[in-house]
Amino acid sequence: NAGVTQTPKFRVLKTGQSMTLLCAQDMNHEYMYWYRQDPGMGLRLIHYSVGEGTTAKGEVPDGYNVSRLKKQNFLLGLESAAPSQTSVYFCASSYSNREHYGYTFGSGTRLTVV
Amino acid sequence: LAKTTQPISMDSYEGQEVNITCSHNNIATNDYITWYQQFPSQGPRFIIQGYKTKVTNEVASLFIPADRKSSTLSLPRVSLSDTAVYYCLVGAHSGAGSYQLTFGKGTKLSVIP
């Protein structure tokens, strides 16, 4: 049982390039989330999804797009990367919205934009 | 969204009990209190969750007073491997009905040999 898998683990981009981060979960969770973590800032929610085909904005959505075409996958896209998007990105999933059963996080993607 | 306040850092010697207190004065009636642990270069890991009184599992205990305006995570007899950042979170529902968690900066626990 893999849990939440993020690919790639590391990436270096040049300013203006685009890329997609993939998050896959095998727990049949309904809810999925993308966070970014910067030094001294804790985790900040970028976008989230409450089910297949749905997406919603979180706290810091600008410069990112997401898609949830399949229940098990949640993609985070950067159309034109900027140095301010250098960060560690974490994907998470959860089972229910009625009670909090605990989020399961991936191991993160470390992105550097030069 | 309910805001939480916890100490930025704590130090403890190996073998001691560590208590990390979190305040959440504007917690809502339906909110649960959840604690996560994060090691360097890893994603946060769920530790424990509670609504009121006391909850205990194999890792920690969570104490919540009757007014629920604060909570205390208790780690018994810490070891070097407990060195991590600990986050206190209070759940909140967004307008879309999703159950989002807001992560603060957490408490960096350093266990000293």
Tens of pLDDT, residues B1-14: 568 899 999 999 99
d(CA A90, CA A108): 5
Give the pLDDT confidence score for residue B26 in this predicted structure. 87
- Phi and psi dihedrals of A71, rounded to 5? -60, -35
Give the pLDDT confidence score for residue A1 in this predicted structure. 61
pLDDT at A82 over 70: yes
Taking 50 as the pLDDT cut, the residues of chain B under it are 95-97
Out of B43, B44, B105, name the one closest to residue A40 (CB). B105
Q: pLDDT-derived band of residue A100, with 50, 70 and 90 as boundaries? A: low
Sign for the pseudo-dihedral over CA of B76, B85, A58, B5: positive
Distance from CA of B70 to the nearest CA of A (A): 18
Tens of pLDDT, residues A37-52: 998 778 899 999 989 9
Give the pLDDT confidence score for residue A101 in this predicted structure. 61
C-alpha closest to that of B102 among B17, B27, B8, B10: B27
Query: Within an 8 Å CB–CB cutoff, is residue B101 touching chain A?
Result: yes
Query: Within an 8 Å CB–CB cutoff, is residue B52 touching chain A?
Result: no
Give the pLDDT confidence score for residue B1 in this predicted structure. 54
Chain A residues in contact with B101 by the CB 8 A cut-off are 100, 103
Q: Are B91 and B99 in contact (CB under 8 A)?
A: yes
pLDDT at A98 over 80: no
Give the pLDDT confidence score for residue B95 in this predicted structure. 47
Q: pLDDT-derived band of residue A97, with 50, 70 and 90 as boundaries? A: low
Question: What are residue A53's DSSP bridge partners?
Answer: none
